[in-house]
Amino acid sequence: MQAQFQSVADFFHMGGYAFYVWLSYGVAYGALGILIGFCITRKRRVLKEIAAKVKREERLAQHRSNKQ
C-alpha cells in the first residue's frame, strides 16, 4: 500500500484545498453536534411532559375515587 501524502504537513495542506476540506468537516461535525444536542434536550422535555401527565392523571383518578 502506498502513502498518498509525503508528510503530515502535506496531509493537512490537502494539495491547496485544506480550507475547504477542513471547513466541510467542521460544518458537518458541528451540524451533527447541534442535532444530537437538540435531540437530547427534546427527549428530556418530552419525558418531563409525560411524567407530569401521568401525575396529573393519577391525581384525577384519586380525586374521582374519593368523591364516590
Average pLDDT, the chain: 91
31-57 CB burial, b ≥16 within 10 A, e <16: eeeeeeeeeeeeeeeeeeeeeeeeeee
CA distance 25 to 53: 42
**Model confidence, pTM:** 0.67
Within-domain flag for 42: yes
Residue 66: CB atoms within 10 A of its CB come to 7
- For the stretch 11-29, pLDDT in tens is 888 888 889 999 999 999 9
Domain containing residue 68 = 37-68
Please name the amino acid found at residue 17. Answer: Y
Asked if residue 14 belongs to a domain, the reply is no
**Number of structural domains, the chain?**
1
